Amino acid sequence: MKYALILSLAVNLFLIIKLVVLRTAVRDLGNDFAERKELHSNRLLGSISRDREIRRLATLMNETLVSLRDAFHRYELGDAEIKTAITNIAHDLRTPLTAICGYVELGEKLEKSPEMERYLSVIGERAAHMKKLTEELFEYALLSGGGVKEEKQELCINMLLENAIMDHYPAFSEKGIEPVVDITEKEIRRNLVQSYVERILSNLLSNALKYSDGDLEISLDASGKLRVANSAAELSTIEVNRLFDRFYTVDNARNHSTGLGLSIVKLFCERMGCALNAEYRDGKIVIEIEF
């Protein structure tokens, strides 16, 4: 009986030690996997455990890592090729479109029949629109690829917002929109990239022009939160959530847009660390940015 008890204790002790060793091996394997989860690393998992199943698990995890890295590298290569193709195509289109716009402008100065004048007007509008879309594609391809880098500097957000509103005021008036503006008297100074902030403000106001049902509210509070809101009965919560997606538009035919305007806003906000949020509240699209 005594020997049986000793044997039982020895077996239990052995099992406990075995369990501790296995748990340690699994924990080390998990920590090793966490360190190597970055798909840019070529290092594989290792295990000092002599347990066959633990070593088999490490082998299977390594095979999965290799497959994921190969797939990720193929994705990166394909993504880079697409961006390069977009950049090249957009660049190639800019030159002939600029020439077309120039010849249309020259043609408008010559004597012509009313019918020819109408044709030139239509050609000019279409060419200018294509040129604008091409420039947006060219710019986005450069920006999303990290090809444009600028230094931060101290900026007055109040002044930049006022300038952006004044730049868009003629377009607002033409559409019958009278913006309700509320800008804090406190100077909001931030260390940001000026061209990024200017483009963010311009794109937000241009977006409001596209979707507004006739109203627009623009505010900047003392904490540096910018709020742009307008009625948009044709939108829905789902559509508002997708407005920052690349190339997404609610109505391409009506808005004549690449769907890149708010994508660029999102990209610049991420680069400067500014919080961005869009919601659909009571029939209004509300976009907020915390500078």
Per-residue pLDDT in tens (0 to 9) along the chain, 291 residues: 667 677 677 766 767 776 766 677 777 777 766 666 665 666 776 666 677 777 787 788 778 778 878 887 777 777 677 777 776 777 677 778 777 877 888 888 888 888 888 888 888 888 877 877 777 777 666 666 655 567 889 999 999 999 999 988 888 888 899 999 999 999 999 999 988 899 899 889 988 888 788 899 999 999 999 999 998 776 655 566 666 666 555 554 344 454 567 888 888 898 899 999 888 888 888 899 999
Interval 275-291: pLDDT, tens: 998 888 888 888 999 99
What SS3 state is found at 6? Answer: helix
Count of CB atoms within 10 A of residue 263's CB? 21
The domains found in the chain, sorted by start residue, are: 1-149 (no CATH), 153-290 (3.30.565.10)
Cα–Cα nearest to 182, from 147, 137, 229: 229
Number of H helices, E strands in the chain: 8, 7
Pairing of strands 284-290, 275-281: antiparallel
What's the DSSP call for residue 56? H
> Tokens in use for 102?
């120039």
Instruction: Name the residue with tokens 């629109």.
Output: 129
